[in-house]
Amino acid sequence: MSSKQTYHWMWEILHEREKQLKKWSPEHDAEHQYGSLAKAAACLAVNHTDARVEDPAGYSSEEDPWGLIKRYGDDEVRALVIAGALIIAELERMERRDNES
């Protein structure tokens, strides 16, 4: 893969994160404790594989509590871009949490 392709996908993920931030505030993201943003990302990321996400707290690939797989699951590339943006959201949430302590 060329660096041009890598930057393209990085840009796509960052663009998706910007769209998320227009809809959801950092305060909203802060409410998603216990890794739920990362779990949602994982569910989207593994949707087109034989892997599954299982969580004792009830978040799983089969449950799809936010409806992300239902909305984006048919488009593997779009699902992975959204998953990448959700990982960034989780990292940002953790960084804000750690800076408040």
- What secondary structure does DSSP assign to 44-68, as a single string? HHHTTSS-----TTS--TTT-TT-H
pLDDT at 15: 98
Cα dihedral across residues 38, 44, 48, 51: positive or negative: positive
pTM: 0.87
Encode the chain (101 residues) as per-residue pLDDT tens digits: 578 899 999 999 999 999 999 999 999 999 988 888 998 899 899 888 888 887 766 666 667 778 888 898 899 999 999 999 999 999 999 999 999 87
pLDDT at 61: 64
